[in-house]
Amino acid sequence: MDKFSAMQMFVRVIEKGSFSAVAKERGIGQPAVSKQISALEDELGTELIHRTSRAIALTEAGRDFYESALRILDDFESATSRIGRGQTAPKGLIRVTVPPTFARLHMVSKLAAFFAAYPDMAVEMAASESPTTIVEDGFDLAIHSGDLPDSTLVARRFAQTMTILVATPQYLARYGAPESPEDLHRFRSVVFVERDSVQPWIFGSGQDAKRVIPTGVFRTSDIEQMRMGVLEHLGIAQAPAWLFAAELREGTVLRLLTTFERTVPILAVRPASRRMSTKVRIFIEHLEKTFALCSQFNPRPS
């Protein structure tokens, strides 16, 4: 058995999520892939993957071996690049979890330039609002807006945005505009709910921060629905500026109480236990470069 080849195939099975996908990618039969992984497990003397009729999952030993295999393959990639004096272009698949609305509005549009610069790279995006699933599901990165909730993860900021209060001109013409956070209880809001709990609005930062529990006739746990609720004039909402970037430029949404806005980071998150691979570093650097040009993430007050 070619241990290096078996290790590469094992990593690809985890990245693709199935034996059949790797078999199709390599132009071989699925039994050949399964046989290679079984031979690797026999060599190691332990099960690496739980197999079911519908999915695969890493065992504890498999997760440990996967982390080690990634480091070995990255070292090999880096070494061939150095010895080849930079002539070996980075290649491989990057698996990223991204909040679906952020991906649709801002991430996918950045990929064409990335592929033009690195034609041998591929990106797989999975929709997820939580960055904590990347370790157990074998992803390289998670994109997250806001503070990092898990200390087992490390993050690199590639952009930042403002948390802003917004409403449409039509809503404001009918109901007026609040003059302070304390005034908001008189106004109908589009309310974001998470785990059956209304999420408070926060104005300012530090000891001077003010918290307001919004009220309204429309509550949702989906940020895209919250966005549409605002655009349908259902109420005021607090949201990251990137969510209404186009509408802010066009004037179809206006900012309120701008003196209370706060800055939040947009992060590329990865497991603390995993060294940053060359392909991941290149992808993050691309995000830093392209998002630096996005003025809509920190728009000037209207």
Domain locations along the chain: 1-88, 160-263
Q: Could you tell me which residue, 22 or 170, shows the higher pLDDT?
A: 170
Identical fold, 1-88 and 160-263: no
Confidence band for 85, pLDDT divided at 50, 70 and 90:
very low
- CATH number of the structural domain 1-88: 1.10.10.10
User: What average pLDDT does the chain have?
Assistant: 87
What is the residue type of 210? K
Bridge partners of residue 270, in order along the sequence: 154
Correct CATH for 160-263 of 3.50.50.60, 1.10.940.10, 3.40.50.2300, 3.40.190.10? 3.40.190.10
Q: Return the pLDDT at 88.
A: 56
| Model confidence pLDDT, tens digit, residues 177-196 | 999 999 999 999 999 998 88
Cα→Cα distances 144→17, 196, 226, 267, Å: 23, 21, 18, 5
Residue from 260, 200, 222 nearest 129 by CA: 222
Confidence band for 300, pLDDT divided at 50, 70 and 90:
low
The answer to whether 95 touches 140, Cβ cutoff 8 Å, is yes
Q: Return the pLDDT at 209.
A: 86
Distance, CA of 14 to CA of 62 (rounded, Å) = 10
Predicted TM-score (pTM) of the model is 0.70
Lowest mean pLDDT: which of 11-15, 33-37, 168-172, 241-245? 11-15
Q: Return the pLDDT at 53.
A: 65
